[in-house]
Amino acid sequence: MSKIHAAITAVNGYVPDYVLTNHELETMVDTNDEWITSRTGIKERRILKGEGLGTSDMAVPAVEGLLKKRGITAEEIDLIIFCTTTPDLPFPATANILAHKIGATKAWGYDLQAACSGFLFGLATGAQFIESGKHTKVLVVGGDKMSSIINYEDRATCIIFGDGCGCALLEPNTDGYGIMDSVLKSDGSGAHLLFQKSGGSVSPASHETVAAKEHYAYQEGQAVFKFAVTNMADVAAEVMERNSLTSDDIAWLVPHQANKRIIDATASRTGLSADKVVVNIERYGNTTNGTIPLCLWEWESKFKKGDNLILAAFGGGFTWGSIYLKWAY
């Protein structure tokens, strides 16, 4: 019997309408368009506006579009893995909320939290359920409403992050397409360099924590950049070496969109020219769990069946990893 691989059979995405430009940020914090662009590659990002809207509200249109593309109903989904750092609520899982909203009555699901590496970890996890034969349709969602945990008086973070959501459907494939390999890593010694100080069990919400602005993302930019620029590039190179792949074998590098300089370093380390690198950071910024699925969604029409793709990510935790997959359609 041929080996079962977990293949991506459909992708889709959603970004909110509101565009927050660098020029608008100039009116909010001490920064300017040239500074932001030269250091991050970001020109604008999307923000989810509207009372009572959360991450699941971006997931619904993304997933409904995916189901329509694939020609299936929500009842056919076996499992939903929702990769997010900004769940609708601390509990229940946003995967459960999403399942209810889309009518996925036969699916079970849970949230996966690995900061910006979440979607990558989610794909690798979902693949196990497909490869084992346990499930035939696993929906992996990656999305964040980062604006809900960003302090728009902190220029170290507010220039970087945006809101958005993407999703991918995993199904079994016996023709040699799908997820071929993954290298996944984490190192908790970097936890204090990129984190949200309060709102968890160590420091629950109080008047004091809110007043001290401890419910926002905090980042030590230089330290995080240094770690990310090396490790994301190394892990992409590692998954290629493990599978005897050269830059000539790779059709596309799909990197997490954290910073254009980190993307460039990863491309350089893997020997890939700019025309093989998927980049949309200038329009969306860093949407955390949304970056890679939004890239897959926007580039879907350019991918050809059998293309070798390298996915790479880095996030708080620290977490990082890379996936090698053969595009299935």
Query: Is the separation of the CB atoms in 38 and 58 below 8 Å?
Result: no
Pull the structure tokens for residue 254: 């799909």
Instruction: Supply φ then ψ for residue 70, to 5 degrees.
Output: -85, -15
**Start-to-end Cα distance in the chain:** 22
The rounded distance, in Å, linking the Cα atoms of 253 and 324 is 10
Neighbour count for residue 279 (Cβ, 10 Å)? 19
Of 83, 135, 256, 259, the active-site residue reads 256
Pull the structure tokens for residue 83: 């990769």
Of 83, 116, 158, 167, the active-site residue reads 116
Per-position DSSP letters for 224-275, written without gaps between them: HHHHHHHHHHHHHHHHHHHTT--GGG-SEEEE--S-HHHHHHHHHHHT--GG
256 carries an active-site annotation: yes
Neighbour count for residue 196 (Cβ, 10 Å)? 16
- 70 to 74, 78, 303, 313: CA distances (angstroms): 11, 15, 17, 27
Of 12, 231, 259, 286, the active-site residue reads 286
| Signed CA dihedral, 9, 15, 21, 25: sign only | negative
Catalytic center residues:
116, 256, 286
